[in-house]
Amino acid sequence: MDIIAIYSNKGGVGKTAAAVNLAYEASRSGMAVLLCDMDSQGAASYYFRVRPKKKFSDKKFLQGDINDFIRGTDFDGLDLLPALFSFRHLDLRLDKMEKRKNGSVFDTVFKTIAGEYDLVILDCPPNPTLLTEHIVRTADILVTPVIPTTLSILALQQLLKLTVELKIGHRKIKAFFSMVERRKNLHSATIEQYKKYPVFMKTEIPFLAEVEKMGINRQPVGAAARNSASALAYERLWQEIWQRS
Amino acid sequence: MKSGYRTFTIAGPEGVERLLRKIRGLYSLREETADDIDEQYLDTFDGRLSSRRLALRQTERRFVLAAFSGTPSEETEGPQKPRIFWQDFPEGKVKDMLAPISGVRALCPLFRVVGRRRHFRVCNRDEKVVLRLQLETGDLYVGEEKREAFAPRLHLEGMRGYHKQFQRVSEVLGENDCQNLEPGQTPVDLFFSQLQIRPDENKIRLCLGKDQTASQAISLIGQGLLAGMKRNLPGVLEDIDSEFLHDFRVAIRRTRALLSQFKQEIPPGQAGIFQDEFRWLGSVAGPVRDLDVCLQKEAIYRGLLPDDMHAGLSGFMEKIAEWRERQAVIMRDHLQSARAAALFANWSDFLSALPSKIQMPQGQIPCRKAARKVVRRCFLRLLRDARRTIRGDMQDVSIHKLRIQAKKFRYMAEFFRGFFPAPDMDALVSDLRGLQDDLGDFNDLAVQIRRFQEYGTALSLDRIAGETLDALLVRLEVEKKRLLKKCLKRCMQFMKQDRTGLF
């Protein structure tokens, strides 16, 4: 079972859209996929119309007691572990656990479902926190969306720095340009400047209304409009990430 | 992911709409799509797939081979022919799975399901799918004949994390006279039971009671064997596959064994007449069977010959196939003759009347006693022939006799297996099966060599085919010697254990 974390310490870069659409595309390719919504906003859960069960808690999540709380989405081969608002306290809980134990807590969390899924995709909250460190340690692949702007590039640099600090190397980071508007000079110039770095995928995700409409349709773009430009872009992105991993 | 699958049958089409209304009262129910069902189920005549709980479904050129439960399943494209053999499928899993199961048997249409499948989704207040439903309605056809409508069935497919909704809808169905399938029962089972198709219906099921007389037992066994002949005869005449003829001949052989072993229990003169007639019936079917065996062994012959002789072998086999066709015409004429029809009718009448022929005192003894005597006699003869084979000089001949005796014993042991301790009898039959397999292989080869010598003279073979046949005969003689040694070894192993106390 591989774990892909969709992470950026900058907000609003298209993490959840990427997590939802990549999970959907992976499941379409025949994989058994679990999307784990770790952002207390619960946007991924909202997109899939999934509400968490009442008995679910952040404590249970960290104990690996997740089996009974996973729910099927409307799509074959794709399940979701919905987020809780209390996930905002995950850092605090992790801090207490950290004193007892080193290493990543997620190794235990996903142990119970290892035989069931081929792939787990983590939709991570922004901000560099203790939770981030655990995710970075656990994930086999770190997919990070980068809007071709200065601040977003800065966020990528911080992530690269973090991987150096944690001594895990850059190779697991797969960055891609997100919400690209080629008509903007800044976007084009930034892409031209940085696309040569191997950390970047070739596939770009354009800024399109279809992605924004996910909030209305409440389904992945590929399910709402299979042949739309954004659906095809996410399909290509998934294939590239998987091939280069 | 799916979590839970349940199938309910609904009483009558009017019940369907009522149920859908009930579900609509609880959840949002939306019909997604609908498609036509037109599936032909195929199996061998002796139910080799269904006895393994496998179903082969055909929709035009698409074939699905699946467990009755639905999974695992494999799909492939295939031919559209009235009868299909595993060799007709393209390379792949379906072909690989079918080969060892169907063997030489044709896959023939069993029944056809024609109807409509409607797909529904059950959603919660967020319009999230919490359950999927499939409603199937339609009719069953056997051949072109429409038999009856099958009870509408509703498949519930649960979604992970939404068990409550799955349970709730199941309860509603239960409360409204819908029948949940019994544990282990599948939707395919429902088709089979509605059409009264039993995978093992070709096997003779004997229920001999210890109070029955010998005449009653002969009558019962004879009628079972006659039914076997009649069941296979249409397949022989249509030439569907070679096993129809094989099973037809086995039923004749068993009948002849029954007649020869129970001479004293049958009115004088009658046994001889029927013996002669069944011998004739067996003999008219013999040549085609020998040629079938020869054709089935082509791959083995190919393996015995060098590559440069394969073309010659193909030519020879083509001649054999042509000859088989000619022989089959002659055989069909005999099997459809007045003589054959009279034999079946007279034998049937005779068997029906046999239990009431009280003037035959031997026929009135308990069948258990008669069976013990016959089985013991056959077993002792089997041992005698086995001893002769081991120490004899004319081993070809004695092996042939031993094979016949082993068959007779096996037939009798199977007819009357209920009168002997099951574990001992099973162990004996199992050992005997091994011996019979070796004896059968040896005999097949001896017959083939004899037939090939005859064919070589009778068929006008070209030089290449003739040379191939000569080379093949040399190889087969070598193989025969190897099999002879194997038979003798097996014979000695069989004789090691003293089992005379069993009878």
As for the ipTM of the complex, it is 0.86
Mean pLDDT of A175-190: 94
Phi, psi of B114, deg, nearest 5: -125, 125
Q: Choosing among A45, A79, A80, A217, which should be mutated to test the B contact, i.e. which has the most B CBs within 10 A? A: A79
pLDDT at position A98: 60
Burial of A14 (0-12, 13-18, 19+ CB in 10 A): buried
Contact B1 A77 (CB under 8 A): yes
Strand arrangement, sheet containing A2-6: A71-72, A78-81, A33-37, A119-123, A2-6, A141-146, A173-177
How far, in Å, CA of B120 to CA of B169, rounded? 13
Q: How many C-beta atoms lie closer than 10 Å to residue A100's C-beta?
A: 6
Contact B128 A74 (CB under 8 A): yes
Contact A49 B127 (CB under 8 A): yes
Q: Measured between CA atoms, how close is A56 to chain B, in angstroms?
A: 12
pLDDT at B163 over 60: yes
Q: Return the domain boundaries, chain B.
A: 2-194, 214-498
Tokens 């000619």 appear where? Answer: B326
For chains A and B, what is the number of CB pairs under 8 angstroms? 32
Q: Which residues of B touch A69 (CB under 8 A)?
A: 161
Q: Which residues of B touch A32 (CB under 8 A)?
A: 1
Chain B residues 152-211 with a CB less than 8 Å from chain A: 159-162
- Over residues B109-158, the pLDDT tens digits come to 999 999 999 999 999 999 999 999 999 999 999 988 888 888 899 999 99
| DSSP state at residue A200 | B
Q: SS3 of A34, please?
A: strand
Kindly indicate the confidence band of residue B203, based on its pLDDT and cuts at 50, 70 and 90.
Answer: low
Domains held by chain A: number: 1
Contact B128 A70 (CB under 8 A): no
* CA-closest candidate to residue A138, choices A3, A16, A46: A3
Cβ neighbours for B304, distance < 8 A, ≥ 6 positions apart: B472, B475, B476, B479
pLDDT at position A193: 93
How far, in Å, CA of A187 to CA of A146, rounded? 11
Mean pLDDT of B253-268: 88
pLDDT at B200 over 70: no
Contact B162 A49 (CB under 8 A): no
A50 touches chain B (CB under 8 A): yes
Q: Measured between CA atoms, how close is B123 to chain A, in angstroms?
A: 10
Contact B161 A49 (CB under 8 A): no
Q: How many C-beta atoms lie closer than 10 Å to residue B439's C-beta?
A: 25
Q: Cis omega (within 30 of 0) on the bond before B234?
A: no
A79 touches chain B (CB under 8 A): yes
Query: Which H/E stretch holds residue B293?
Result: helix B270-296
pLDDT at B97 over 90: yes
Q: Which of B121, B127, B159 sits opposite A72 (nearest CB)?
A: B159
| DSSP state at residue B120 | E
Please tell me chain A's helix, strand, coil percentages from 3-state DSSP, rounded to the nearest 5: 45, 15, 40
- Over residues A95-115, the pLDDT tens digits come to 777 655 556 777 778 888 888
Average pLDDT, chain B: 88
Contact B160 A79 (CB under 8 A): yes
Q: Which residues of A touch B4 (CB under 8 A)?
A: none
pLDDT at A153 over 80: yes
Chain A residues 138-177 with a CB less than 8 Å from chain B: none
Kindly indicate the confidence band of residue B29, based on its pLDDT and cuts at 50, 70 and 90.
Answer: very high
Query: Do residues B291 and B320 make contact, with C-beta atoms less than 8 angstroms apart?
Result: yes
Q: SS3 of B392, please?
A: coil
Q: Which of B126, B127, B159 sits opposite A51 (nearest CB)?
A: B126
DSSP assignments along A52-101, one per residue: --TT--HHHHHHT--GGG-EE-SSTTEEEE---GGGGGHHHHHHHHHHH-
Q: Choosing among B122, B125, B131, B160, which should be mutated to test the A contact, i.e. which has the most A CBs within 10 A? A: B160
Phi, psi of A162, deg, nearest 5: -60, -40
Mean pLDDT of A173-196: 93
Q: How many C-beta atoms lie closer than 10 Å to residue B121's C-beta?
A: 20
B128 touches chain A (CB under 8 A): yes
Contact B160 A32 (CB under 8 A): no
pLDDT at position B223: 93
Mean pLDDT of A231-239: 95
Query: Could you list the residue range(s) of the whole structural domain that residue A17 is in?
Result: 2-244
Q: Measured between CA atoms, how close is A23 to chain B, in angstroms?
A: 14
Q: Measured between CA atoms, how close is A237 to chain B, in angstroms?
A: 24
Mean pLDDT of B64-83: 89
Cβ neighbours for B340, distance < 8 A, ≥ 6 positions apart: B281, B334
Q: SS3 of A244, please?
A: helix
Among the listed ranges A58-62, A177-181, B203-207, which one has the minimum average pLDDT value?
Answer: B203-207
pLDDT at B428 over 60: yes
Average pLDDT, chain A: 90
Identify the CATH number of the domain defined by range B2-194. 2.40.320
- Over residues B302-338, the pLDDT tens digits come to 998 888 888 888 888 898 999 999 999 999 999 999 9
Q: Which of A48, A49, A71 sits opposite B160 (nearest CB)?
A: A71
pLDDT at B424 over 60: yes
Measured N-to-C along each axis, helices B395-415 and B463-496 cross at an angle, to the nearest 10 degrees, of: 60
The tokens of B119 are what? 């797909």
Residue of A nearest to B162 (CA): A71
Tokens 């409508």 appear where? Answer: B149
Identify the CATH number of the domain defined by range B214-498. 1.40.20.10
Q: Measured between CA atoms, how close is A242 to chain B, in angstroms?
A: 22
How distant, in Å, are the alpha carbons of B40, B76, B83, B298, B450 from that of B91? Answer: 22, 9, 18, 20, 36
Kindly indicate the confidence band of residue B199, based on its pLDDT and cuts at 50, 70 and 90.
Answer: low
- Over residues B6-28, the pLDDT tens digits come to 899 888 767 888 888 889 989 99
A224 touches chain B (CB under 8 A): no
A207 touches chain B (CB under 8 A): no
Query: Do residues B135 and B118 make contact, with C-beta atoms less than 8 angstroms apart?
Result: yes
pLDDT at B394 over 70: no
Mean pLDDT of B406-424: 86
B1 touches chain A (CB under 8 A): yes
How distant, in Å, are the alpha carbons of B63, B80, B81 from that of B88? Answer: 12, 10, 10
* CA-closest candidate to residue A221, choices A28, A17, A5, A76: A17
How far, in Å, CA of A185 to CA of A189, rounded? 6
- Identify residue B72 by its one-letter amino acid code: P
* CA-closest candidate to residue B491, choices B384, B412, B376, B378: B384
